[in-house]
Amino acid sequence: MERKSEQLRNAALIAHVGSGKTSLGEAILFNGKSTTRLGRVDDGTSNLDYEPEEIKRKITIATAIHHAGWKRHVINVIDTPGDDNFLSDAKAALQAADGVVVVVDATAGVKVGTHKLWGFADERSLPRVIFVNKMDRERADFYRVVEEIEKAFNVKATPVFLPVGAEDSFKGLIDLAKQKAYLYSKDGSGKFEESAIPPEMEEETGRWREKMIENVVEANDAVMEKYLEGEPLTAAEIEETFVSGTKSGLVVPILCGSATLNMGVAQLMDLIVQAFPSPAEKESYAGMKPKTDQVIQRRPSIDQPFSSLVFKTVADPFAGKLSLIRIFSGTLSSDMTLYNANKGVKEKFGQIFLMEGKKQQPVETAMPGDIVAIPKLKETGTGDTLCQENDPIIYKASEPLKPVISYAVETKVKGSEDKLFSSLSRLLDEDPTLRLERDQTSSEIVLSGTGQIHLEATCEKLNRKFGVEVNLKPLKVPYRETIKKPATQVIYRHKKQSGGRGQFAEVHFDVSPQERGSGFEFQNALVGMNVPRNFVPAVEKGLHESLRSGILAGFPVVDLKVRFYDGKSHEVDSSEMAFKIAASMCLKKAMQEANPILLEPIVKLEITVPEESMGDVMGDLNSRRGRVLGMDSKGRFQVIKAQAPLSEVLQYAIDLNALTAGRGTFEMEPSHYDEVPAHLAEKVIAEAKKAAE
């Protein structure tokens, strides 16, 4: 069968971690005959969770893509992560989708992750259907979940199927539109038989059917008028209004079932084919003309110029780099030269692959709506637009989530730092939420990510793919030292006589504190000829070297001024070296007299929390020496703006999760330096001295 854009359905599965979306994806692949048996996450036989880190943790860490044929259509299954540590990958994957299946656990209901991912689907205005999963589990309650969904998302949640039974006795679904029951065999085969609605459910079915029609008719004014005037509606009118209402997002259909038993999945696949838009239905995609503010529209048609967005990169140690693209317009064939409009470079490539979980299937051409992988593009990264050079366009890519936690990374084998840096850089291609920096003062390699598990999984991947074993260590806080009062007329004489030529230099300094953040200032105030001017650079050099390590705990010294006003020299024994040493020792002597203190970095925090956690979060901030600067409200959430010492919030991501049951988020940026309270300074100094020994 020749593929056409009209037959494609790009469906992303999104859910809070552990709701069963990967199992649902497996059932779709099995029903669509893409796999010969039902893959299971718990046995590690899943086709979509195939990375060792995913099998070990039994969660999705990276988006996987596969496709299944269904009723002369092709469903592209985009299975996204639901764990908080990996949500950025899910957000990016939605750029390839035309519709979203929101999976909700019938026993747990709407959770934090459901909220966050629903927000991402809102940003892209994607139509969605809700699949209430795990109807066969203990404490499964379909009607409670429907109520929660209405409250949580403020939508017209519209059940189109009702469950027959629940928990152990869950045996099938009732189709409210066709007024039939489908009773399933529980062997995972996905086979079911049609039957009449069980008599004990007739009344309830009638009530929910009425509610469904009420919600659906709101999507079409003419049909609604007819309905309100009491005229009977035809099945075709209800169906057409339902389909257009779902595509526009006014109607959110709800189904139910059990992914692991493959019950209700066939009905979901019917709905994806029927009520999700095909890529060809979108009027056009908006992008920018490179280096201008001009907006260009591209229709999803094969006769338009080729354009696509790289929404994900996979670093494969064998195949090299794979760039996953969603095609928006035009046709891609393997003999083309692509143009990366963001970087202004041409890219040559040899093959096009359809992704099938961890496997790839080569294809000759690809068309609008296709999701394909291109290997070994040299310059291209996640978020870039690939198009035709003679008609370029840039699509705006979704922003990765900001990192919230950082650790120092050190190799277990000494001397393999360079390999560590180059291997981590390759993982950064694959995961734009990671950040890699080298701390200039401590020379630590710092890795930042969206959570503890995120960084641990990255280190496991680093070892598996590139053979680099590392440890994660808490970061060193970059303390600084300075002085509080001036020290004037400080004199230091450096003199060494040991046979032959000696060393001699004497310097006179005034040292005074500067404003916070203003750095170091050197003033040459020499008059007269006691010190030859050619020694001044050596004095300044000696000071700069001395600033690297203060007298309290060896931290860099900041915010002071040295006035060099006099000194003495010897015509034979004075040298640059002698003046360098004298300057360095004189500064140390001056600092002892000038009331030296320790400074610590203060960060700015913006913390978003649900209202009921406000008190706990504020109390916790106070215990961390934090200062609340102001508050805003954002929907049902409160935004707290605060400052706190960096040393108190290094692990804040983990603690905030615990305080808010996973619903709080925060962003952090450096603000300024402040004096460390005396009792804490003593501790820091003692620890630094112990580490130096």
34-55 pLDDT, tens digit each: 998 888 888 888 888 888 888 8
Q: What local confidence, expressed as pLDDT, does residue 669 receive?
A: 87
List, in sequence order, every residue forming a beta bridge with 447; answer none if it has no partner. Answer: 407, 436
pLDDT at 1 over 60: no
Say whether pLDDT at 162 is over 90.
Answer: yes
Is residue 525's pLDDT more than 80? yes
Which tokens sit at 621?
């901030």
Distance, CA of 147 to CA of 68 (rounded, Å): 32
With a cut of 90, say whether residue 667 has pLDDT above it. no
Which residue is listed with tokens 């050596």?
Answer: 538
Domain with CATH 3.30.230.10 in the chain: 481-594
Domain 599-692 has CATH 3.30.70.240: yes
As a whole number, mean pLDDT of residues 630-640 equals 86
Report the alpha-carbon distance of residue 67 to residue 71 in Å, rounded. Answer: 13
| CA atoms of 464 and 453, how far apart (whole Å) | 16
Q: Beta strand 285-288 with 352-356: parallel, antiparallel or unpaired?
A: unpaired
Mean pLDDT score, 248-269: 96
CB count in 10 Å sphere of residue 31: 21
pLDDT of residue 2: 59
What is the Cα–Cα distance from 413 to 119, expressed in whole angstroms? 43
Q: For 355-395, give the secondary structure using H, E and C.
A: EECCEEEEECEECCCCEEEEECCCCCCCCCEEECCCCCCEC
Q: Is the pLDDT of residue 57 over 90?
A: no
Q: Give ranges for CATH 3.30.70.870 in the chain.
A: 405-473
In this prediction, residues 181-205 reach a mean pLDDT of: 94
pLDDT digit string, tens, across residues 63-94: 999 999 999 999 999 999 988 889 999 999 99
CATH number of 5-281: 3.40.50.300
Is residue 442 within 8 A of residue 517, CB to CB? The reply is no
Highest mean pLDDT among 36-50, 451-465, 584-598: 584-598
Instruction: Assign 465 a pLDDT band (cuts: 50, 70, 90).
Output: confident
pLDDT digits (tens, 9 = 90+) for 318-335: 667 899 999 999 999 988
Residue 292 CA to its chain's centroid (Å):
29
- 129: which 2 tokens? 């259907």
CATH code, 405-473: 3.30.70.870
Distance between first and last Cα of the chain: 74
Q: Is 539 helix (H, G, I), strand (E, B) or coil?
A: helix
pTM, entire model: 0.84
Mean pLDDT, to the nearest integer, of 513-527? 94
Please determine, for residue 664, whether its predicted confidence score (pLDDT) is greater than 90: no
Mean of pLDDT values over 102-115 = 91
Residue 529, φ and ψ in degrees, nearest 5: -115, 25
* pLDDT tens per residue across span 203-246: 999 999 999 999 999 989 999 999 999 888 888 888 999 999 99
pLDDT value at 300 more than 50: yes
* Mean of pLDDT values over 655-664: 87
What one-character DSSP code corresponds to residue 683?
H
Residues of the chain with CATH 3.40.50.300: 5-281
Residue 56 scores a pLDDT above 80 = yes
Name the fold adopted by 481-594: Ribosomal Protein S5; domain 2 (3.30.230)
Q: What is the mean pLDDT of residues 455-469?
A: 91
Query: In terms of CATH architecture, what is 285-387?
Result: Beta Barrel (2.40)
Q: In 3D, which of 622, 673, 5 has the Cα closest to residue 304?
A: 5
Distance CA 623, CA 642 (A): 13
CA distances 646 to 555, 610, 676, Å, are 16, 24, 11
Q: Is 579 helix (H, G, I), strand (E, B) or coil?
A: helix
**For the chain, what is the mean pLDDT?**
92
Query: Alpha-carbon torsion 331, 337, 339, 343, what sign?
Result: positive
- Cross-strand pairs, 353: 362, 373
Q: What percent of the chain has pLDDT over 70?
A: 99
At residue 381 the predicted structure's pLDDT band, cuts being 50, 70 and 90, is: very high
Given this model, what pLDDT does residue 530 score?
A: 94
**What is the predicted pLDDT for the residue at 71?**
95
User: Shortest CA distance to 638 belongs to which of 675, 671, 609?
Assistant: 609
What percentage of the chain reaches a pLDDT higher than 90? 72
